[in-house]
Amino acid sequence: MHFVYILHSAVSGKYYCGESADMEDRLERHNQGRSKATKAGVPWTLVKLISVSDRKEAVKLEGQIEGRGIRRWLESNG
């Protein structure tokens, strides 16, 4: 099982989309500032978690979400 996730930072007001097989570890790494892309927005809150069958499907969905725009994708897929 793999996950596509969307995080929100109240500090920066930004959203971040990613994929992972281990969500607990991944969210912890984001909130410890160990991810360069999200370091400035700590703390991050998980706002959407989607489980998919494998990494290939996760990467595809992540690309679709980012291509649409995370905020717009959330508005239409809540």
How does pLDDT run across 31-51, given as a tens digit for each residue?
A: 999 999 999 999 999 999 999
Segments forming the whole domain that contains residue 24: 2-77
**pTM (global) more than 0.75:** yes
Following DSSP, what letter does each residue of 36-64 receive, concatenated?
TTTGGG-SEEEEEEEEESSHHHHHHHHHH
Q: Is the pLDDT of residue 5 over 90?
A: yes
pLDDT tens digit sequence for 56-72: 999 999 999 999 999 99
1 three-state secondary structure: coil
Instruction: Give the number of domains in the chain.
Output: 1
